Amino acid sequence: METKQDQWINETMKSMDSKKAVGISDRLRQRLELIPNEVSVYNVVIPMRSVYLAAASFALLITINLLAIKNNTQQHKAETNLETEYFSYLNQL
Amino acid sequence: MDDFEEIEGLRQGNERSFHKLLDIYSENIYNLCLSILQNQEDAEDTTQEVFSTVFLSIKEFKGESKLSTWMYRITVNKCQEHIRKKNRKKRFGFLTSIENSENAQLSPSFLHPGVELENKERASILFSAIDRLPENQKIAFTLHKIEGIAYEDVAIAMDLSLSSVESLMFRAKQNLKKSLGDYYEKNER
């Protein structure tokens, strides 16, 4: 048998069953209607100068990294040569 | 397959198609946000975010599901983001430990504007209990039970399998019954 508590819980669980859809306010409708303009304006507003600047920064960053790698490799080669020469000298002794 | 005929217009950024989209879906999306977030201002802001995302990402919509379901998915993601942001802020709040404690009582505060006057108080208690559910249970329950969205669409919107949604719904109902039972013991007896 359903207790008073069960009945209360069931009624509370069903309290949203007759809910009606809430209409949007005029203010929100206006905000939503502005989206295409705002999004388009936002797209146009990005200056090409910034785009070129960003691209140049990336290019510079990559160049510096490549130079650093190249330098590092040359230095490593020189060290290896030195070591080889030293060990061959030791072997001769 | 689709329920909206002007997708091509939307893809081309046509304003008239976008207004038509608003005519058909703005109320649904707003109501969904309102039920999940339980706050009118937050629901308005999130609705705006959803439609901005729809306008920007419509080119990515492949038509594999209904447009409405795709939009529900965006709405769920935006609402989850909002809830997480809010929870992060709350963590720094002084009363967090008291508010979030599992033993804390339900504190009905949200009066849904779409609920009839005679049911307002009970609906407020129910919303308070829903708000205490784990995030996924809360969203599944709200989508299906409050907004009347079919299980299949809930599964797509939440990116889950049908059985996972059914299981979430089962657990949500159990948890709600438990917290409502506790509330009854303390307040209604």
| Section B26-52 average pLDDT | 95
DSSP state of B58: G
Q: Is A3 a domain residue?
A: no
Grade residue B91 by pLDDT with cuts at 50, 70 and 90: low
Helices (H), B38-66: 40-57
The answer to whether residue B53 neighbours chain A at the CB level (below 8 Å) is no
| Averaged pLDDT score across all residues of chain B | 88
Q: Is A37 a domain residue?
A: no
Domains defined along chain B, listed by start: 1-94 (1.10.1740.10), 104-189 (1.10.10.10)
The answer to whether residue B132 neighbours chain A at the CB level (below 8 Å) is no
Q: Is A64 a domain residue?
A: yes
Chain B residues with CB under 8 Å of A32 CB are 22, 26, 47-48, 51
Chain B residues with CB under 8 Å of A21 CB are 27-28, 31, 114
The tens digit of pLDDT for each residue in A50-79 reads 889 999 999 999 999 999 999 888 888 888
Q: Would the ipTM clear 0.90, i.e. be above it?
A: no
B29 exposed, middle or buried (CB, 10 Å; 0-12, 13-18, 19+)?
buried
Angle at A40 between CA A37 and CA A42, to 5 degrees: 105
Two tokens, residue A42: 């936002």
CA–CA gap between residue A44 and residue B179 (Å, rounded): 52
pLDDT at residue B87 is higher than 50: yes
Range of the domain at A68: 47-93
Q: Is A83 a domain residue?
A: yes
Interface of B with A in 67-96 (CB under 8 A): none
CA–CA gap between residue B58 and residue B166 (Å, rounded): 30
Q: How many CB pairs under 8 A join A and B?
A: 93
| Averaged pLDDT score across all residues of chain A | 87
pLDDT recorded at residue B11: 87
Two tokens, residue B65: 């599901």
Residue A41: CB atoms within 10 Å: 10
Question: B2 and B66 in contact (C-beta within 8 Å)?
Answer: yes
A62 exposed, middle or buried (CB, 10 Å; 0-12, 13-18, 19+)?
exposed
Q: Is A16 a domain residue?
A: no
CA–CA gap between residue A11 and residue B26 (Å, rounded): 30
CA–CA min distance A51, chain B (Å) = 20
Determine whether the interchain pair A16/B145 forms a contact, defined as Cβ–Cβ distance below 8 Å. Answer: yes
Q: Is A25 a domain residue?
A: no
Question: B154 and B143 in contact (C-beta within 8 Å)?
Answer: yes
What's the structural domain count of chain A? 1
| Closest of B43, B33, B71, B53 to residue B156, by C-alpha | B71
Two tokens, residue B80: 């989850």
| Section B34-52 average pLDDT | 94
